[in-house]
Chains A and B, each alone.
Chain A
Amino acid sequence: MKLKRGYFEDIRIFRNRASRFWTFLFILVLALLPFFIKAYYLSVINLMALNVIVALGLNVLVGNTGQISLGHAGFVAIGAYSGALLMQLGLPFVPALLLAALLTALIGAFLGIPSLRLEGPYLSIVTLGFGLAVMVIIGRMDVFGGRTGMSVPKLKLGWTGLPYDTALYYVFTITTVVLVIITIILLKSRIGRAFQAIRDSDIAASVIGINVSHYKTFSFAISAFYAGIAGCLWGLYLQFVTPGTFSFMMSIIFLATIVLGGLGSVTGSVLGAIVMTYLGLQLENIVGVPVLGDVIVAFSDSLMNTSGIANIKWVLTGLILIGVILFEPMGLNGLWLRVKRYWRLWPF
């Protein structure tokens, strides 16, 4: 007996009713949340949303195409500054957002060009240099306020009848949900498959007719596009941007986010960004924990040589990453898959 397949099920966003049910429930919760929680928590979720957007894009590049970027904060900076400038010039939000993202994508495509010739460590260095150069260059441009930074105009959201924070929360979450869906579709398509082919074997990819340079450049552009959107929103979130905001450390944290979440996976990008944002805000509190906190501070002071709390955060982040790589190389997505297998189609 042969099973007649429709094949459409292979490209649907939701594999089954359970996953659709949970997704809609999650979106419903997101939509109602502002009526139940304090503005501070909304702003935490906003920050998570920003990190989700960057992680989605970075994971297309790193987890799916097998390229590397140690300079993603540079793209976020370009998105933030160009978005801010466009809005200052009076452009409405949506066109400003898209224009800023497209500009960032264009620069991403240019940065993709060295990726055609360089691999691994060499590409890392080029992208690292890019991230640093963006900070320096922006710091010298007067339109962007130089080293002191520039303020970002608030959105005109009065028409929604909602408090500004709440309205901004909706802007962030809607953008993020849309981008999550777009990423899922993209990765199921011929384009996503071509990216993954290049990741697994660029030789095989080329002999089956994939224009490897074209797709590598394209992947950089897409990845930068996401970072550009996140950047533009980041400006709105902070209301004031300085070159120092988009530091090298930020680029490293982005990479750590997708490793923690799971390379190549959309679920991983989302989970990684949520957890990493939370850790970024909470990890320093470990100093207050009796005994353990003291030990960590002593460890940090004696071996890591810079004093202060920020340092402890990085040390712990590093330890967590080592743990992930050792015990769950598929990251949070790996955990998630196991939990999912356990619960399967609950509640159906």
Chain B
Amino acid sequence: MSLFSLNHISKSFGGVQALSDLSFELEEGEIFSVIGPNGAGKSTIFNCISGLYTPDEGSIQLAEKEITGWAPHRIARAGIARTFQNLELFRYLTAVDNLLLGRHIHMQASLLRILAMPFRRSRAAREEIAHRHKVEEIIEFLELEAYRDRPVFALPYGIQKLLELGRALALEPKILLLDEPAAGLNNEERQDMIFWIKDIRDQLGVTVIVIEHNMELVKDISDRVLALNFGRMIATGQVLEVLEHEEVRKAYLGEIPETT
């Protein structure tokens, strides 16, 4: 059985059919890309998976468990983490605090235990310290040392993108949803992002779904691709197959000359 499946999902907003009858499955450890023109419904897929939207029809399963209609925080605990197309960081908190919040689901000190936190040996202090170590690993992994104690709003855009990735990683998810991770990045930053996404899969074994417009990135990292237009799947399969697909080319209206 597959790790994750989306079965006949439909979602509409008033008159707009954002998704219709969409299905796909994920194998453990693969990088699966979703492409399609703006407004195709890509982000809506993520919003349905992470519980921000409830699909009108269809079901979503994670490791045999039906998670359709679950609240976002439950889905996060079940092992799905994500980033957003337009960055949703905690702007007035430092980079470290943002990453520590990614550890929230793994921390459990109760209010009463927390009151003992000033004592080094208390359970709450030991928990907090353990998670700060964990966060430090992520800081090292993504090379964020220079930014750790700066508030997010003061960080460059590229670093914020990376930090959001780090926060999602901190959850130690089974599945990572990345909504346009390379959007707005320069060439060098994009190369780094490609490197990290591959690393996340290879080293941490995380299954990744990527929404991306940059075909270089898509070609480089994807095991499989799904192309979407007007909420419908128009092609799925190997990268080059999908990019060569006639309907895909039409949907993009020549927006992807760099295919070959």
- Residues of A whose CB lies within 8 Å of any CB of B are 5-8, 10-13, 182, 185-186, 188-191, 193-194, 196-197, 199-201, 203-212, 264
Interface residues of B (CB under 8 A from A): 50-52, 71-73, 75-77, 81-82, 84, 88-93, 97, 100-102, 104-105, 107, 109, 111, 114-115, 117-118, 120, 124-125, 128-129, 132-133, 136, 167-168, 171
Our pick among A190, A201, A204, A208 for the contact of B114 (Cβ within 8 Å) is: A190
A207-B72, A209-B171 are known contacts. Are A189 and B114 too (CB-CB below 8 A)?
A: yes
Residues in B neighbouring A205, C-beta threshold 8 A? 90, 101
CB of B72, distance to nearest CB on chain A (Å): 4
CB atoms of B90 and A8 under 8 A apart: no
17 A-B pairs (CB sep. < 8 Å): A13-B118, A186-B114, A190-B104, A190-B109, A200-B93, A201-B91, A204-B88, A205-B90, A206-B51, A206-B76, A207-B73, A207-B81, A207-B82, A207-B88, A208-B102, A208-B171, A209-B105
Which residues of B have CB within 8 Å of A189?
109, 114, 117, 124, 128
A200→B115 contact, CB < 8 A: no
Contact, CB under 8 Å: B97 / A193: yes
Complex contacts, A188 vs chain B, CB 8 Å? 117
CB < 8 Å: which of B84, B89, B128 contacts A11?
B128
Given A7-B129, A7-B132, A190-B109, also A203-B114 (CB < 8 A): no
Q: In the bound complex, do residue A194 and residue B129 qualify as a contact, i.e. CB atoms below 8 Å apart?
A: no
- The chain B residue sitting closest to A190, CB to CB, is B107
B104 x A207 contact (CB < 8 A): no
Q: Which residue of B lies closest to A3 (CB)?
A: B145
Known: A190-B107, A209-B171, A212-B73. 16 other contacts (CB 8 A): A7-B129, A11-B117, A185-B114, A186-B111, A188-B117, A189-B117, A190-B114, A193-B104, A197-B104, A204-B88, A204-B89, A206-B76, A207-B50, A207-B75, A207-B76, A208-B167
Give which listed residue, A182, A208, A264, contacts B101 with CB less than 8 A: A208
A203 to B87, CA, bound (A): 11
Q: Cα distance A10–B118 when bound, in Å?
A: 10
Chain B proximity of A177: nearest CB distance (Å): 14
Taking CB atoms, residues of chain A closer than 8 Å to B111 are 186, 191
Contacting residues, chain B, for A199 (C-beta < 8 A): 92
Contact B105 A208 (CB under 8 A): yes
User: A40 to nearest B CB, angstroms?
Assistant: 35
